[in-house]
Chain A
Amino acid sequence: MSKPIVGVLALQGDFVEHVEILHSLNIPTQEVRNISDANMTAGLIIPGGESTAIGKLLKSTKLDKWIKNNATNGYPVFGTCAGCILIAQDVDSEYSLKLIDITVSRNAYGRQLDSFETILTGTKLKNVHGIFIRAPKITKVSSTVNILLKYKKEPVLVQQDNILAGTFHPELSTNAVVHEYFAKLVKKFNYHE
């Protein structure tokens, strides 16, 4: 059985960093700029960047509908930072795909001078380098959402079935545990369901 291809949305943002981390784990990847790229993939990472810019480009490429339709049918999606905003159910953005039942507040820690890095540890994932850059906050999660990592008692990495959302940037660290976790999720939803 060949390994499933993990797509990285390559419209704007730090998608190259995600691709490099996946390569370090020997996971085949595909940069996704249009629907034919997306059709090759078994799961998708929406990277950090600016959510309005990415949102507009999702619309003009019609990838917004493609992702929404597939995610509803079990296609795994992982959104980081801007990506988290773009998949949240309840957020101040006209471009959100509403894939995960959480409330997200944009730029909630403040401006660039308030950006920070720290070490995060949960029960499943340990010693994760949490790099928060003008990060959003997850202010509310529904009862069916599983909290994987917290910072100061607030959720920063959450999962609801095939959808993973994080407010920090695991792609900027040298530690690949979060990507490994998502790769397992992609495998699970493609081969064992």
Chain B
Amino acid sequence: MTKKNTTVKKNTLKLKAGLAQMLKGGVIMDVVTPEHAKIAEDAGAVAVMALERVPADIRATGGVARMSDPKLIKQIMKTVSIPVMAKVRIGHFVEAQILESLGVDYIDESEVLTPADNDYHINKNIFDVPFVCGCRNLGEALRRINEGAAMIRTKGEAGTGNIVEAVKHIRTLSEGIEAIQHMNESGLKKMAVEMRVPVELLKQVKKLGRLPVVNFAAGGIATPADAALAMQLGVDGVFVGSGIFKSKNPTKRAMAIVEATTHYQDPDILAKISENLGAPMTGIDMDDVAVKMAERGN
């Protein structure tokens, strides 16, 4: 792919991480049909995640959850002008090769699907298409970034409509970042060994006071207030999976969550947009969750 004009560079980390920067303050919505994708785009989604079943249905159906049919992904790519993301199983680099060949804008190496490899995640550095990965804490986030992830999301617990795990993971990540602010060189080195990441990455986090890439919240956001809670806890934006299309009035709820993600610091606006949205998805208490998806991959 060498170009004659050598001054033009493609697929650099700057461009991969840069697209995620454009999504900040926005909502990325799970969609299972081109019609859903259009509803999401019209409601103000900054990107859509194309998949065959939303996490709540993956839970309900059981079995092995895999990459979606390329035909569905292509149809969704044709339908909307916003970026299209799609999921691959943890470690399934061939599913990733297929999505790259389709030209999706972002790949989510996701615990929502059944893992393909219990030991290794995909070496994302060798791909041209950017990746987003889930994390529960700083070590997990940095391992994914070291493998080439250009965007991170806290895992939460997908398909539950329950924000409690998302909050836990956002807080744990923040505490991890806070903890290294006061560490000296030898402390950082020790931590890097523990986390199995290069010490340079930890030094970068210490200097920035945050992750070096954009970080969204995911897994359990069902209401505008949930989205604003995640934003006030310090994430850059939110993924909403089952929360929209498993609710009574998807269009209205989608628009309200978009507004809430922008005006997350304004309770007057949040009160207004939370009014009369119809029933949210039912949701599950964590004690009744049979499969903890967040525990997949480390």
A residues near B, CB below 8 A? 10-17, 33, 48-50, 52-53, 56-57, 60, 81-82, 106-107, 111-119, 131, 133-134, 169, 172
Contact = CB atoms under 8 A, between A and B. Distances in A.
Contacts of A10: 25
B24 A49 contact: yes
Contacts of A172: 14, 18, 21
Given A33-B263, A50-B82, A112-B105, A13 B44 contact: no
Rank and list the top 7 A-B pairs by shortest CB-CB distance, nearest first.
A112-B105, A50-B46, A12-B25, A14-B21, A53-B44, A56-B44, A115-B15
A14 to B, nearest CB: 4
B108 interface: no
Contacts, number: 116
B22 A14 contact: yes
Nearest to B263: A33
24 contacts: A11-B262, A12-B25, A13-B26, A14-B22, A33-B266, A49-B23, A49-B26, A50-B23, A50-B82, A57-B262, A60-B259, A111-B104, A112-B106, A112-B129, A113-B129, A114-B10, A115-B10, A116-B9, A117-B12, A118-B9, A131-B18, A134-B22, A169-B18, A172-B18
Most chain B CB within a 10 A radius of its CB, from A16, A107, A134: A134
Most chain A CB within a 10 A radius of its CB, from B18, B24, B104: B18
Contacts of B46: 12, 49-50, 53
A113 B10 CA distance: 7
A66 B128 CA distance: 41
Contacts of B23: 49-50
Nearest to A16: B24
Contacts of B258: 53, 56-57
Contacts of A116: 8-10, 15
A83 B46 CA distance: 14
B81 interface: yes
B268 to A, nearest CB: 11
Most chain B CB within a 10 A radius of its CB, from A15, A50, A111, A116: A50
B81 A106 contact: yes
Interface residues of B, number: 43
A18 to B, nearest CB: 11
Contact of A117 (B15, B22, B27, B47): B15
B128 A52 contact: no
Contacts of B11: 113, 115
A53 B10 contact: no
Interface in B17-45: 18-19, 21-27, 41-45
Interface in B257-283: 258-259, 261-263, 266
Given A56-B43, A57-B44, 19 more contacts: A13-B22, A48-B22, A49-B22, A49-B24, A50-B23, A52-B44, A53-B26, A57-B259, A60-B259, A82-B22, A111-B105, A113-B100, A113-B128, A113-B129, A116-B15, A134-B83, A169-B18, A172-B18, A172-B21
A57 B256 CA distance: 11
Contacts of B77: 111
Interface string B157-174: 000000000000000000
A172 B20 CA distance: 12
Contacts of B103: 111, 113
Interface in B229-274: 255, 258-259, 261-263, 266
